[in-house]
Structure 1
Amino acid sequence: MTMAAKAKAGVAAGAAAAISLAVGIAEPQEGYAGYVYRDAVGVLTYCYGETENAKSMQGRTFSKQECHDLLVKRMAHYDQGNEKCVSNWNGLPVETRGAFNSFSYNVGIGGFCGSSAARYLSTGNIKAACDAMLAWNKGTVGGKKVILAGLAKRRVVERNICLRGA
């Protein structure tokens, strides 16, 4: 195997491990719902926090396995998106990548890429990046930003896993 092939295989293995870790973080934090419902801020949601095409999924039921498989696929999408805005993404520890994949699944790739956390990661300051996640604990309810207990708990979990890589 050439050096380039070994490097590519290493990157793929790192991505797979980070995606698996992110799924392990997100599943219990999001919770399973085999149907479409409105989340705490009124967004149509199903499975493990999935929002894509939720309106067209209304009335459908989803098994846990379907939802798990969808989450794995979506986490791969977020890992690739995060890589586009953090230059050293593939060199980050698996724990850090996994935590930020879960984070960006929740806040969106644009939210992550525009955050101070992404800027800290790009400069190699993992601890500051992990700590920056804690500020993302609010949702808009009734037109006002409020701290959501479940979101605050999730951020602590993500931060603690993220710091294992620091």
Structure 2
Amino acid sequence: MARTINAAGLKLIKSFEGCKLTAYQDVAGIWTIGYGHTRSVSVGMVFTQDQADQALASDLLSTEAAVARALASVDTNDNHFAAMVSLTYNIGSGNFASSSVLKHHRTGRAQDAADAFLMWNKATINGVLQVVNGLTNRRTAERTLYLT
């Protein structure tokens, strides 16, 4: 059976992504709709709440699967998994696969893994890598969940 994010992780994603039913550009200029859905989004696109919920569920399937693959044969509790799914949902599975969060988790260094979440608080805005307060807050919440 496929591993899925727990309620605390889903609540975290929804609270930080927010739900916007009209397409918008995020701080990095990426067209986004619903709960952070970016695939095939274009200007003027509109979702119903049901479409936003379905897009999140669909996006989470691939995110959960990527995190589960990366953690195969590694002892991982539900909050570890949920925090890493939230991170991966935001930064992408490629970035997660090469992250210090994953490296430290795989070697059983939970505190180092938790602290490594905090490194992912920047976005490229107008060509410049910058700290984003919303990302700092999200990473802090993910770190807290991971340590819970």
TM > 0.5 fold call: yes
Q: Which residue of 1 aligns with 2:31?
A: 44
Structure showing greater Rg: 1
For structure 2, the 5+ residue unaligned runs are: none
Q: Which residue of 2 aligns with 1:98?
A: 82
> What's the offset of the Cα at 1:20?
4.0
Q: Which residue of 1 aligns with 2:71?
A: 86
**Mapped partners of 1:97, 1:88: distance in 2:** 13
Q: Which residue of 2 aligns with 1:143?
A: 127
**Mapped partners of 2:105, 2:72: distance in 1:** 9
Match among 46, 52, 57 for residue 72 of structure 1: 57
1:26 aligns with 2:13: yes
TM-score computed with the length of structure 1 as normaliser:
0.82
Size of the aligned set, in residue pairs, is 148
> What's the offset of the Cα at 1:48?
0.7
Q: Secondary structure at the match of 1:66?
A: helix
**Mapped partners of 2:139, 2:92: distance in 1:** 14
> What's the offset of the Cα at 1:19?
4.9
Show CA shifts across 1:91-139 (max 9, x none). 4110110011010000000000011111111112222112101010001
**Mapped partners of 1:97, 1:153: distance in 2:** 19
Instruction: Give the structure with the higher percent helix.
Output: 1
Aligned-residue RMSD, C-alpha: 1.6
For structure 1, the 5+ residue unaligned runs are: 1-7
Q: Which residue of 1 aligns with 2:141?
A: 157
**Mapped partners of 2:54, 2:114: distance in 1:** 27
TM-score computed with the length of structure 2 as normaliser:
0.91
Mapped contact 1:19–1:101 kept (Cα < 8 A): no
Question: Structure 1 residues 128-137 or 64-73, which shifts more?
Answer: 64-73
> What's the offset of the Cα at 1:61?
1.6
